[in-house]
């Protein structure tokens, strides 16, 4: 049940050498997660209005090869694990068939006070 998006690398994404700045990959992963959920009919914005938030609590990322200015990269996202109040999404970033980045991001479902909350049923259905 993986989902894929494409991202073009612009000058603003890179360092002085034309290589994507390492922190920008986190932005790409966020965008891919949001699109993954939207593709499955889940709106993070709607949960936000209901007082539920998804906080990144852990990132495990491995940079294999750099993306560069002018390239287009593809990011796949899928659910790796789901618990009562957290979810782990695995993402891979490719340029053509070359793996550039591998990451697992753990998100906790919390309320406005920052207390853990059970994942919404709509999201839990994605694991089955």
Q: Which residue segments constitute the domains of the chain, with CATH numbers given?
A: 3-127 (3.10.129.10)
Of 99, 112, 101, 122, give the one whose Cα is nearest residue 50.
Answer: 112
* 106 close to 61: Cβ distance less than 8 angstroms: no
pTM of the model: 0.92
15 is catalytic: yes
Catalytic residue among 13, 15, 97, 111: 15
pLDDT digit string (tens) for 6-61? 999 999 999 999 999 999 999 999 999 999 999 999 999 999 999 999 999 999 99
The whole-angstrom separation of Cα 16 and Cα 48 is 37
% of the chain at pLDDT higher than 90: 91
- Cα-to-chain-centroid distance, residue 26: 7
**What band does 127 get if pLDDT is binned at 50, 70 and 90?**
confident
Name the residue with tokens 């550039």: 100
Q: Which residues contact 127 (CB under 8 A, 6 or more apart)?
A: 79, 82
Per-residue pLDDT for 1 more than 80? no
pLDDT digit string (tens) for 59-92? 999 999 999 999 999 999 999 999 999 999 999 9
């Amino acid at each position: 049940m993986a989902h894929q998006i494409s991202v073009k690398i612009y000058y603003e994404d890179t360092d002085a050498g034309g290589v994507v700045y390492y922190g920008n990959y986190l932005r790409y992963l966020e965008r891919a997660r949001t699109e993954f959920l939207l593709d499955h009919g889940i709106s993070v914005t709607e949960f936000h209005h209901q007082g539920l938030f998804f906080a990144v609590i852990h990132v495990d990322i491995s940079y294999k090869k750099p993306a560069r200015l002018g390239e287009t990269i593809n990011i796949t996202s899928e659910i790796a694990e789901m618990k009562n109040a957290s979810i782990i999404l695995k993402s891979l970033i490719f340029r053509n068939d070359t793996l550039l980045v591998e990451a697992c991001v753990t998100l906790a479902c919390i309320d406005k006070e920052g207390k853990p909350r059970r994942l919404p049923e709509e999201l839990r259905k994605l694991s089955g």
